[in-house]
């Protein structure tokens, strides 16, 4: 004999089902947020100093084939890893003190100019993010485009070629200072040709990166790169004095 559901009983079952799934979804969101917070707050110990710091201030070193250590910027390579502060002096100190041998529990092979290798990889990662921001519509390139972007909204970053003439940059410096003060960071440590290659065009002197996921990733990489090179060699000497 077939079971028939009356409207009131079906309605109660539907409400119970919706209530159950709503609770499950809320719980999943809470767990996801908690997991993200834990990942964000993870700390590691620097092999050079023994001090504990946030992952954003350290670089993971992985052990590759033939016991050769390799920088693992994304912290995704399998196997054991060691962490070192994102500063050239700390990397050189770790190499000199054979700290990586102790970290991996065996003799390791350190490539020549290991700190320079890390710096080059960080710089390339930053340029890749500039290209991704361009494809995502989060990057304005060229003096006129940057001028309009700066007027419209506060940029997350301004990017100025290190081999650019001072004249063109000074105008954008003054415009940015007038609109947003002196708290807009400038990445001025890349050649115009390298910036252009990253965004698929000719040599590019001026660019502006808007707030977004690429800008957040770019900030993390530039924070580490600042331990290996001066991010803006030209400085802010062209800005007017604040009164």
CA–CA dist 236, 243 (Å, integer)? 16
Whole-number percent of the chain with pLDDT over 70: 82
Q: What is d(CA 9, CA 127) in angstroms, rounded to the nearest whole number?
A: 62
Q: Read off the pLDDT of each residue in 64-92 and give the average, rounded to a whole number.
A: 94
Predicted confidence band of residue 241 (pLDDT cuts 50, 70, 90): very low
Round to whole Å and give the CA distance between 152 and 147. 9
Q: What value does the mean pLDDT take over residues 34-55?
A: 76
Whether residue 69 is predicted with pLDDT greater than 70 in this model: the reply is yes
For 26-36, what is the mean pLDDT?
A: 55
pLDDT given for residue 136 in this prediction: 96
Q: What is the pLDDT of residue 30?
A: 55
Contacts of 201 (CB under 8 A, 6+ apart): 141
User: 201 near 124, Cβ under 8 Å?
Assistant: no
Q: Are the beta carbons of 95 and 71 closer than 8 angstroms?
A: no
Name residues whose C-beta falls within 8 Å of residue 54's C-beta, 6 or more positions apart in sequence. Answer: 41, 42, 43, 44
Over residues 95-112, mean pLDDT:
96
Find tokens 């834990």 and name the residue: 38
Mean pLDDT of 50-73: 94
């Amino acid at each position: 004999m077939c079971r028939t559901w009356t409207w009131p009983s079906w309605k109660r079952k539907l409400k119970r089902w919706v209530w159950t799934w709503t609770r499950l979804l809320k719980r999943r969101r809470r767990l996801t947020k908690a997991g993200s917070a834990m990942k964000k707050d993870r700390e590691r110990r620097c092999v050079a100093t023994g001090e504990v710091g946030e992952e954003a201030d350290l670089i993971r070193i992985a052990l590759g084939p033939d016991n050769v250590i390799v920088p693992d910027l994304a912290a995704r390579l399998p196997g054991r890893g060691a962490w070192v502060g994102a500063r050239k002096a700390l990397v050189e100190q770790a190499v000199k003190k054979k700290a990586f041998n102790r970290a991996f529990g065996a003799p390791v092979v350190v490539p020549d100019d290991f700190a320079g290798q890390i710096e080059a990889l960080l710089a390339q990662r930053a340029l890749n993010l500039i290209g991704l921001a361009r494809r995502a519509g989060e990057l304005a390139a060229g003096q006129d485009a940057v001028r309009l972007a700066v007027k419209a909204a506060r940029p997350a970053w301004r990017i100025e070629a290190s081999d650019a003439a001072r004249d063109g940059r000074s105008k954008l410096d003054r415009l940015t200072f007038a609109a947003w003060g002196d708290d807009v960071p400038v990445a001025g440590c890349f050649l115009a040709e390298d910036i252009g290659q990253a965004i698929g065009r000719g040599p590019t002197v001026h660019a502006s990166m808007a707030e977004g996921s690429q800008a957040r990733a770019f900030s993390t990489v530039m924070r580490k790169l600042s331990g290996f090179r001066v991010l803006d060699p030209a400085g802010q000497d062209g800005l007017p004095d604040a009164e």
